[in-house]
């Protein structure tokens, strides 16, 4: 057994059994060792941003880390955007980053870099295995660290000689940390403050937005306490049978309008909300003037237990309101817009589906009718780094092969990680990719005006347009082995989405929206 065998055996012993990989020379010992570890499923990704995004989607659904295999500092660097999203989603991921042999680093070969410094901003934990004998213990430590709480990516650096040298160390099983419930004092303080407030709101984030947390939030709603969620949530149930709180709006002025009159904000699994960007003469913190804030549960605490205790303290009933099942009866007709496409998605989305959302300006048109669709779950773009929609779908499909995965994307966002389509085809994953093709970075045309930059001229507009040449998503998908169709009417989209939901395997629908 060498260090690479020891690493894989320890990962598998800790139930880390999926590896999203883009290896290079320094990782060849790991690659060879895969044939000796049957518990590990390797998935080749043609770009590191696909590998890291897939690990994000996997971890969100499995509640357990996958590992990535990345080639030195530049390979890690190529995957940073989706690790940023994963950090904001608190997704457990174990990055295995190959490095030069320990004795070779000093020669400053062309691929040499300070990997630890590159990895640290998006890693909860960074260490290098400087010997083969150190690999097993450090691997177990990495797995434990990835759970936090609240969790996130970690980075284990594996020098080439630590991978190829022999070792007799046995796999180490990690001690997984547990979330502690918030203190009784925090619960009592929140209950007292809510009783005394005129218009309180409980803001939910992270773990509090899972099904268990929303069930407790529904109890609060039953006694008149308003609840809201963060704007972008890592994993949240949606559809019939569950409770759907209001969502903090993206634009600051809209969020503050929703919060007008609020005199108390109780935080459960989140922090004070802030605007996504700064704008001239607009606030950064989205808490109304004169509104007090109070923390019920920190992100690393058990927010579900805290919400349950708060509901008990307020005398809430055991259950609260639930969404009804209301599907649109008739297929939409006429011009294809985000709204008509959203109606078709709500009509045909099967129970238990997972929606990976990177649709930017089109997402609201899907979200609203889906509130009363068949029960499903949504993985959102938590960190704002577009290009996570199809990679997340890869990971979700590997974690839950029995569930239908739907990836909805803006065309500009999907081009960031277009190589993900190849992995969908190679792995034959049951993923339907919807591309909202408006041939423009629509959100940036909105933001140009909001930031006070003025109306765009020919040069400015040229940087926001995707129309010269126009992207041909059907050709792109078919070129990477994915069956595809282009729709330019509401009727055609309804049929295409219905058929995709009735069949298994990867498919792409280009929605040429008006």
- Full-prediction pTM beyond 0.85? yes
| pLDDT computed for residue 451 by the predictor | 82
| pLDDT computed for residue 466 by the predictor | 86
CA distances from 74 to 49, 119, 123 (A): 12, 11, 16
| pLDDT computed for residue 455 by the predictor | 79
- Concatenated DSSP letters of 5-70: HHHHHHHHHTT--EEEE---GGGHHHHHHGGG-TT-EEEE-SSHHHHHHHHHHHHHHHSS-EEEEE
Cβ pair 311, 220 in contact under 8 A: yes
DSSP state of 231: S
Cβ pair 159, 165 in contact under 8 A: no
- Beta bridge mates, 18: 41
Domains of the chain: 3-164 (3.40.50.970), 184-233+240-313 (3.40.50.1220), 338-511 (3.40.50.970)
For residue 469, whether the previous peptide bond is cis, meaning omega lies within 30 degrees of 0, is: yes
The closest of 157, 158, 161 to 103, measured between CA atoms, is 161
SS3 label, residue 355: strand
CA-to-CA distance for 406 and 396, rounded, in angstroms? 10
What residue has token string 């040298």?
Answer: 165
What residue has token string 């930059």?
Answer: 453
Mean pLDDT score across all residues of the chain = 96
CA distances from 493 to 28, 338, 368, 370, 380 (A): 45, 11, 18, 16, 23
SS3 label, residue 416: coil
- Exposed e or buried b per residue across 225-236, where buried means at least 16 C-beta atoms within 10 angstroms of its C-beta: bbbbbbbbbbbb
Cβ pair 235, 377 in contact under 8 A: yes
The per-residue pLDDT for range 331-388, each reduced to its tens digit, is 999 999 999 999 999 999 999 999 999 998 898 999 999 999 999 999 999 999 999 9
| pLDDT computed for residue 443 by the predictor | 84
Cβ pair 415, 322 in contact under 8 A: no
| pLDDT computed for residue 202 by the predictor | 98
The per-residue pLDDT for range 383-430, each reduced to its tens digit, is 999 999 999 999 999 999 999 999 999 999 999 999 999 999 999 999
> pLDDT in tens for each of the 514 residues of the chain?
999 999 999 999 999 999 999 999 999 999 999 999 999 999 999 999 999 999 999 999 999 999 999 999 999 999 999 999 999 999 999 999 999 999 999 999 999 999 999 999 999 999 999 999 999 999 999 999 999 999 999 999 999 999 999 999 999 999 999 999 999 999 999 999 999 999 999 999 999 999 999 999 999 999 999 999 999 999 999 999 999 999 999 988 999 999 999 999 999 999 999 999 988 888 999 999 999 999 999 999 999 999 999 999 999 999 999 999 998 889 999 999 999 999 999 999 999 999 999 998 898 999 999 999 999 999 999 999 999 999 999 999 999 999 999 999 999 999 999 999 999 999 999 999 999 999 888 788 888 878 878 778 888 888 888 888 999 999 999 999 999 999 999 999 999 999 999 999 999 999 999 7
CA-to-CA distance for 225 and 365, rounded, in angstroms? 27
């Amino acid at each position: 057994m060498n260090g690479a065998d020891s690493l894989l055996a320890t990962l598998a012993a800790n139930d880390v059994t999926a590896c999203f990989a883009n290896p290079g020379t320094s990782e060849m010992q790991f690659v060879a060792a895969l044939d000796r570890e049957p518990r590990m499923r390797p998935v080749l990704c043609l770009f590191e941003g696909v590998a890291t995004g897939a690990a994000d989607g996997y971890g969100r659904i499995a509640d357990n880390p996958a590992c990535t295999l990345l080639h030195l500092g530049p390979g890690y660097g190529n995957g940073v955007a989706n690790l940023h999203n994963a950090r904001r989603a608190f997704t457990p991921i174990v990055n295995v980053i190959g490095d030069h042999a320990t004795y070779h680093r000093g020669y400053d070969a062309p691929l040499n870099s300070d990997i630890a410094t590159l990895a640290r901003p998006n890693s909860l934990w960074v260490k290098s295995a400087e010997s083969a004998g150190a690999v097993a213990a450090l691997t177990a430590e990495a797995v434990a660290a990835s759970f936090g709480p609240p969790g996130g990516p970690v980075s284990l650096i594996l020098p080439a000689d630590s991978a190829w040298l022999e070792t007799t160390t046995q796999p180490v099983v990690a001690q997984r940390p547990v979330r502690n419930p918030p203190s009784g004092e925090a619960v009592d303080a929140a209950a007292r403050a809510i009783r005394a407030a005129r218009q309180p709101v409980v803001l939910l984030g992270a773990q509090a937005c899972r099904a268990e947390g929303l069930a407790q939030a529904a109890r609060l709603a039953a006694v008149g306490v308003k609840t809201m969620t963060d704007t972008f949530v890592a994993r949240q149930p949606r559809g019939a049978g569950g409770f759907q709180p209001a969502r903090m709006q993206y634009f600051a002025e809209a969020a503050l309008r929703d919060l007008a009159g609020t005199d108390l904000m109780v935080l459960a699994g989140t922090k004070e909300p802030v605007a996504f960007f700064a704008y001239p003469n607009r606030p950064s913190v989205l808490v109304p003037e004169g509104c007090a804030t109070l923390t019920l549960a920190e992100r690393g605490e058990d927010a579900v237990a805290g919400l349950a205790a708060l509901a008990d303290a307020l005398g809430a009933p055991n259950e609260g309101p639930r969404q009804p099942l209301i599907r649109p009866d008739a297929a939409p007709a006429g011009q294809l817009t985000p709204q008509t496409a959203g109606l078709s998605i709500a009509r045909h989305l099967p129970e238990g589906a997972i929606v990976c959302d990177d649709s930017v300006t089109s997402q609201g048109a899907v979200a609203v009718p889906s509130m009363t669709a068949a029960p499903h779950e949504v993985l959102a773009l938590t960190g704002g780094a577009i290009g996570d929609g199809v990679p997340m779908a890869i990971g979700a499909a590997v974690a839950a092969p029995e569930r239908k995965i739907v990836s909805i994307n803006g065309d500009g966002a999907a081009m960031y990680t277009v190589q993900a389509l190849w992995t969908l085809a190679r792995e034959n994953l049951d993923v339907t990719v919807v591309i909202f093709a408006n041939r423009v970075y629509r959100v940036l045309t909105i933001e140009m005006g909001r930031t006070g930059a003025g109306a765009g001229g020919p040069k400015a507009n040229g940087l926001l347009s995707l129309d010269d040449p126009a992207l041909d998503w059907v050709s792109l998908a078919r070129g990477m082995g994915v069956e595809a169709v282009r729709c330019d009417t509401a009727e055609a989209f309804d049929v295409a989405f219905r058929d995709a939901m009735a069949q298994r395997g990867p498919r792409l629908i280009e929605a040429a929206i008006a």
